[in-house]
Amino acid sequence: MAKNELSKYQEISKWIKENIKNGTFTIGSKIPSENEIANQFGFSRQTVRQAIGNLAAEGVLVREQGSGTFVNDPGMKVKTENTMRVGVITTYLNDYIFPNIIHGMENVLTNAGYTLTLGITYNKPANEEQCIQNILQNGVDGFIIEGTKTSLPNANRVLYEKIRELQIPVVFINGYYSDYGASHIVMDDVKAGEILTNLLLEQGHTKIGGIFKSDDIQGVKRYEGVISTIKKNGLSIRDESIIWYTTEDKQYLFGGGMDKILLERLKDVTAIICYNDQVAADLISLLNKNNLTVPRDISIASFDNSFLAEEQVYNLTSIEYPAREVGEKAAEVLLRCINNPKLIEKIKLEPQLITRKSILKLN
């Protein structure tokens, strides 16, 4: 299905470009409506909209609200005036730390007269592509984006280059693409990993394992902080006790089928550092099913200090993720970038440790 849809919108794009080249559609002229093109080709309006959105992103076409779509003059900028809209794209939206991130952005942007258009990727590059295209079609002055699978090569690099050509600023949060020069707001994840590891070492733990996410740069950076601190203290890395997972693996990791494998790989450690509170919560549930308790049998530390870390829930020692501050700063940086498209700001927030009772002090 995806392959057929791709060939369909490419067919429409090719047809529009050919009509521009042969003079059927002249510079400044209005092209047929989405309905007219859809009827002519027998395709859905969504397919037509995707083709037009791609050509608009390339600068071939320009959309004017309430008027239609026109052939763009390549000698003129596509973006002529502010739309007072900002596209916000995150991996998730309604749970965990994300509501506070959005509230922080909303507070700053609405006060500046902007409206937010939201998109959710579920950490899938295809969803990210669709979100960006949909937002571009309606016009936007800037993007705040949580990158998708940021430890891997950017699957949407061509689309991001189109955003750059349109001179639309992008501010990344949490994860960003290292080969795309843009502003970003992140927590110092390496330092956060160092803080948790030092805390465990201070409490007498020298056999430390971990569970980390491999397809996001946050997971890689947090792991970097852990292993660098272990090495600095003259200890060896317990490779068999470091477990990696991807977004797609998460449902299987704690689905029950891997319990025996996880317990076997973690059996020789006294403490485990988890990628985030959700992973820590899932691990605690697994341990409880197997008559193991935290911290009596094993200590656990994690990141984000979400509601899951609170005393009445899992009582986790966790690194505070400053969700609202990230949202506010991302919005403030984006507003500055809209006024100065050449501006690039890279902000790294200091991690803060929240200590609870999930770590046992060893003799």
Q: With respect to residue 147, please indicate whether it lies within any of the assigned structural domains.
A: yes
State the residue range of the domain holding 282.
189-322
Half-sphere exposure of 242 (CA within 13 A, CB side): 15
Residue 316 shares a structural domain with residue 219: yes
Q: Summarize the confidence of residues 221-237 as an average pLDDT.
A: 96
pTM of the model: 0.77
Residue 318 shares a structural domain with residue 334: no
Q: What integer pLDDT is reported at residue 54 of this predicted model? A: 80
Residue 103 shares a structural domain with residue 166: yes
Residue with tokens 């940021």: 150
Residue 182 shares a structural domain with residue 330: yes
pLDDT grade for 74, boundaries at 50, 70 and 90: low
Q: Quick: pLDDT tens for 94-124.
A: 778 899 999 999 999 999 999 999 999 999 9
Q: Is the pLDDT of residue 81 over 70?
A: no
Residue 156 shares a structural domain with residue 232: no
Q: Quick: pLDDT tens for 30-52.
A: 899 999 999 999 998 888 888 88
Residue 228 shares a structural domain with residue 311: yes
Q: With respect to residue 7, please indicate whether it lies within any of the assigned structural domains.
A: yes
Q: Is the pLDDT of residue 3 over 60?
A: no
Asked if residue 232 lies in contact with residue 201, where contact means CB atoms within 8 angstroms, the answer is no
Q: With respect to residue 76, please indicate whether it lies within any of the assigned structural domains.
A: no
Residue 271 shares a structural domain with residue 203: yes
The last residue of one of the domains, among 71, 98, 127, is 71
Residue 235 shares a structural domain with residue 309: yes
Residue 282 shares a structural domain with residue 200: yes
Q: What integer pLDDT is reported at residue 204 of this predicted model? A: 97
The count of structural domains within the chain is 3
Residue 6: CATH number of its domain = 1.10.10.10
Output DSSP code: residue 188.
-
Residue 340: enclosing H or E segment and its boundaries? none
Residue 10 shares a structural domain with residue 46: yes
Residue 240 shares a structural domain with residue 289: yes
Residue 237: CATH number of its domain = 3.40.50.2300
Q: Quick: pLDDT tens for 276-333.
A: 999 999 999 999 999 999 999 999 999 999 999 999 999 999 999 999 999 999 999 9
* DSSP H helical ranges for the chain: 2-21, 34-41, 45-58, 98-111, 125-137, 157-165, 189-202, 217-232, 250-253, 259-266, 277-289, 323-339
Q: With respect to residue 359, please indicate whether it lies within any of the assigned structural domains.
A: no
Q: What integer pLDDT is reported at residue 78 of this predicted model? A: 46
Residue 232 shares a structural domain with residue 307: yes
Burial level of 181, CB count in 10 A (0-12/13-18/19+)? exposed
User: Parallel, antiparallel, or unpaired for β 317-320 and 299-304?
Assistant: parallel
pLDDT grade for 73, boundaries at 50, 70 and 90: low
Query: In the sheet that 142-145 helps form, which strands lie side by side, from edge to edge?
Result: 115-120, 85-90, 142-145, 170-173, 183-187, 346-349
Report how far residue 84's alpha carbon sits from residue 4's, in angstroms, rounded to the nearest whole number.
35
Q: Is the pLDDT of residue 6 over 60?
A: no
211 has which bridge partners? 243, 274
